[in-house]
Structure 1
């Protein structure tokens, strides 16, 4: 049973909204590819049209690779994933966006895929907290066991995404939609992984943390 009262979506609705999110992310670069082809048809300068097509195709490819790890199955049920793949996907995503510098620290490890998905979804939440760009630092501590993921952002107009705050607090006022599904999925993954989510707001940075919840030690009754 989920700890957060907001986590009420059934499987079909969750799948449909995640598909909508992925489509939203790639429709812009795919549309730009089409625009480039139309420019070629209209006799525009080949170099300009080809540059638009090349840049947009790379952007679409990067977004799809990221989505495959962050939202997709990425292998069979219960599979594990190399955190190096997550690092590559995150850095390529930032390079394609051209507005945020990403650093990645911590040991490379093969861990359960839901932990990798949580890491990348928390990365997405944090990335959305610096819409004007800036820096984003990812730190992995003990990823194979009692994992702790720390993501720190710095930049102009930084803020904690409002939808993430709503879902995490358990006080959503509206139904989950295509705009809310990504932070919703982040909180759901944390619940599935047995990890707590929190954020700390400072004057010059915001830190997002996912930390493994310590296992409860069963009480030992004393015999009289």
Structure 2
């Protein structure tokens, strides 16, 4: 079995930062464009269009940053627990402008921070499996410490993106990790940290992603 690639902490931080900048640069750029139109344009209709652009882009940037704070950031001290209701809220904001309709089924519960981070990173991966839109069903099953995740996507031309399974496993092609693939690689890091195993299966126009505990039950020993 190939050992996972280990990144230098500074390289990991730099690649995650690049990913975050990529996610927010588009709505931030749209805000700047809208403000420039407001400064120069006198036509009421154009000004209203620019205001609407600024308003929608600001909401999109805010939603992406709130999602990223939980998916990639500290979001509390070490060992923190996060409410699944908060995770649902930021996920709905993140998916609001996507082509996919989302459903969320989960108990009212607190989960360890890193498990929530894994769930949100799996949402990003799941959304990439239906580039033409469709549906995304997110289910959190069981109770701690035996919580598991199931994300199911359905859509035309559904696919598992190239190399994403290798990246989650920490074994990218040619052992190379860059800003374009850091997100699924990072998801794999979090999965191993939480002791969860991630699997992806495609059947026609349906992709299923599952994550469940791989650690042995303490009562039965290692």
Asked whether the two chains share a fold, i.e. TM above 0.5, the reply is: yes
Q: Which residue of 2 aligns with 1:222?
A: none
Shift of 1:5: 2.3
CA contact (8 A) 2:5 2:175 kept: no
- 2-side partners of 1:22 and 1:197: how far apart? 23
CA contact (8 A) 1:26 1:63 kept: yes
Shift of 1:156: 1.4
Q: What secondary structure does 1:93 align onto?
A: helix
Q: Higher mean Cα deviation, 171-180 or 197-206?
A: 171-180
Q: Which residue of 2 aligns with 1:151?
A: 151
Q: Which residue of 1 aligns with 2:75?
A: 74
Q: Which residue of 1 aligns with 2:109?
A: 109
Query: Which residue of 12, 16, 32 corresponds with 1:14?
Result: 12
Q: What secondary structure does 1:8 align onto?
A: coil
Consecutive aligned runs of 4 or more in structure 1 exceeding 6 Å deviation: none
Q: Deviations over 1:102-142 (max 9, x none)?
A: 10112121111000000000110001111111100001111
CA contact (8 A) 2:168 2:189 kept: no
Q: Deviations over 1:139-198 (max 9, x none)?
A: 111142211100000011211122412313535225100011100011111100001110
Residue-pair matches, total: 216
CA contact (8 A) 1:137 1:152 kept: yes
Go from structure 1 to structure 2 and tell me whether the alpha carbon gap of 1:143 and 1:7 turns closer, same or farther (over 3 Å shift): farther
Q: What secondary structure does 1:81 align onto?
A: strand
Q: Higher mean Cα deviation, 169-178 or 25-34?
A: 169-178
- 2-side partners of 1:76 and 1:168: how far apart? 25
Shift of 1:201: 1.0
CA contact (8 A) 1:29 1:59 kept: yes
- 1-side partners of 2:113 and 2:2: how far apart? 22
CA contact (8 A) 1:126 1:153 kept: yes
Shift of 1:218: 3.8
CA RMSD of aligned residues (A): 1.7
Go from structure 1 to structure 2 and tell me whether the alpha carbon gap of 1:145 and 1:161 turns closer, same or farther (over 3 Å shift): same
CA contact (8 A) 2:157 2:205 kept: no
- 2-side partners of 1:29 and 1:179: how far apart? 19
Shift of 1:77: 1.6
Structure 2 unmatched runs, 5+:
none
Q: Deviations over 1:85-111 (max 9, x none)?
A: 1111111111133x1111011212111
Normalising by structure 1, what TM-score?
0.91
Following superposition of structure 1 onto structure 2, how do residues 1-224 of structure 1 map, counting pairs within 5 Å? 5-43=3-41, 44=43, 45-97=46-98, 99-168=99-168, 170=171, 172-215=173-216, 217-218=220-221
